[in-house]
Structure 1
Amino acid sequence: MRQNPGFALTDEGAVKQLIREHPWMTIVSHTEAGLVASHYPVVLDEDAEGIVLLSHVGRPDEQLHELGRHEILVIVQGPHGYISPGWYDDAPAVPTWNFVTAHLFGTPEVFTGPENLDVLGDLVDRFEDRMPEPRRMRGTLENAAYAERIESGTVGFRMRVTRFTAKDKMSQNKPAHVVDRVIAELEGDGPYAHPGLAERMRATHAELRAARAAEAAGVAE
């Protein structure tokens, strides 16, 4: 991913939050047979230092990706959407696409047996926790027996992210009045309305203003 200093997302905490909010990810491997991509839920290992991912794949995908034998790329994609030049002022302009994404690199550690079952159970719990009556993978003897039967067809893994490239492109190169207009259009009822993207733009520009204010205050001192 081509990096642009004005849009670079370098804060580890911000990347972690992006992972928490958007757990459906793309896993890409460069194998002996060529490029392979799959899509799976991925969560953070919240007890680990740094960025550590937990996920699972079906056993055929584990073989296709040659999982554990080399570095892989995991892509997390946040809110994104079309930005019309008609939302700007009268100056000449072209359309663009606002987005936030991170490319995460590392070599996965593959689990088998009880460890694999533990990872699968943790993944289910992460998502079921929000349900009014969570269905735990091992919540009952019947569920636990079923989970043990299907475990052999899955492969859990943990991946420590050794490097990442992330980008948060939210019209930071536009003047404040244009940013406000873009946000208003995204919050409207037009064909490219996207409240989630508008919310992300507000957050990004609030952080940008706070950083500039802190920098100005430091210079003044």
Structure 2
Amino acid sequence: MDPKPAKYAPKSDADILDIVTRHPFAWIVSAAGGFGATQLPVRPYMEDGRLTGLIGHFGRNNPQIEHLRDQPRALLLLTGPHGYISPSWLTDRTQAPTWNYASIAFDCDIRLIEDSAGIEALLRDLIDTMEADRDNAWSLDNMGERAARLAQGVVGFHARIIDVQAAFKMGQDEAAQEYGEILTALDRAGETDLAAAMRRQNPDR
């Protein structure tokens, strides 16, 4: 994977976990049998307070599953807050446009999960997380016996993280005036996620 400049490194492991939990829709990219790519939600797998893996599930008819049986290695790609930065926001209109973003590439070993108990645990974890704090929250138990039939249609996976390449390009290149003007414009436009991410990555500005 292409290493990013050190100035774009996340401030802490918590920044990486934050992307996984708040922006969980990931690309699963594999190379065995020709490139395969599936976009699906993932959840963090924690050990001793550390992010060591990602878990999720494929539809059972997805051909990428067989490729991963043959070669259980994949990249899991996530994108966090991002957006176009317009020179129209700046006093100095000779500045060039750019794009601020947070992105993470996890190099992983993939273990498929096909037992009914393991699949049910994955589904419950994802559903319960997505339904948390909702009024009249839904649960897998609401499906009754249909839940078991649903589980037969998926194959779970545990992606053990081998390496991480993360880039949080959040205004580190900008001079103080331009940085402040960008934040003002983002706040005015309601781009709160991107503005908050910039502030997290530049705590002293």
TM-score bin (small chain): 0.7 to 0.9
Aligned residues of 2:108 and 2:159 also touching (Cα < 8 A): yes
Opposite residue 126 of structure 1, the aligned amino acid is: T
Structure with greater proportional strand content: 2
Q: Specify the alignment match of 2:35 in structure 1.
A: 35
Q: Verify: 1:198 aligned to 2:195, yes or no.
A: yes
Partner SS for 2:15: helix
Q: Verify: 1:83 aligned to 2:82, yes or no.
A: no
In the aligned structure 1, how far is the partner of 2:152 from the partner of 2:95?
Answer: 55
Partner SS for 1:187: helix
Query: 1:91, CA displacement in angstroms?
Result: 6.8
Cα 1:179–1:65 shift into 2, 3 Å: farther
How does 1:61-76 map onto structure 2 within 5 Å? 61=62, 63=64, 66-68=67-69, 69-76=71-78
Larger Rg belongs to = 1
Opposite residue 119 of structure 1, the aligned amino acid is: L
Query: 1:61, CA displacement in angstroms?
Result: 2.1
Cα 1:108–1:130 shift into 2, 3 Å: farther
Q: Verify: 1:121 aligned to 2:94, yes or no.
A: no
Q: Specify the alignment match of 1:3 in structure 2.
A: 4
Cα 1:62–1:44 shift into 2, 3 Å: farther
In the aligned structure 2, how far is the partner of 1:47 from the partner of 1:104?
Answer: 17
Under a length normalisation based on structure 2, what TM-score does the superposition of the two structures give? 0.88
In the aligned structure 2, how far is the partner of 1:26 from the partner of 1:94?
Answer: 30
In the aligned structure 1, how far is the partner of 2:11 from the partner of 2:89?
Answer: 29
Relative to structure 2, which stretch is displaced further, 14-23 or 87-96?
Answer: 87-96
Q: Verify: 1:152 aligned to 2:177, yes or no.
A: no
Percent identity, aligned pairs only?
Answer: 26
Aligned residues of 1:31 and 1:66 also touching (Cα < 8 A): yes
Q: Specify the alignment match of 1:101 in structure 2.
A: 103
Query: 1:87, CA displacement in angstroms?
Result: 2.7
In the aligned structure 2, how far is the partner of 1:90 from the partner of 1:180?
Answer: 13
Query: 1:84, CA displacement in angstroms?
Result: 1.4
* Structure 2 segments unaligned to the other structure (5+ residues): none
The number of equivalent residue pairs is 201
In the aligned structure 2, how far is the partner of 1:88 from the partner of 1:22?
Answer: 29
Cα 1:65–1:82 shift into 2, 3 Å: farther
Under a length normalisation based on structure 1, what TM-score does the superposition of the two structures give? 0.82
Relative to structure 2, which stretch is displaced further, 164-173 or 91-100?
Answer: 91-100
Q: Specify the alignment match of 1:54 in structure 2.
A: 55
Query: 1:178, CA displacement in angstroms?
Result: 1.2
* Structure 1 segments unaligned to the other structure (5+ residues): 211-221
Aligned residues of 1:36 and 1:65 also touching (Cα < 8 A): no
In the aligned structure 2, how far is the partner of 1:103 from the partner of 1:168?
Answer: 12
In the aligned structure 1, how far is the partner of 2:93 from the partner of 2:198?
Answer: 22
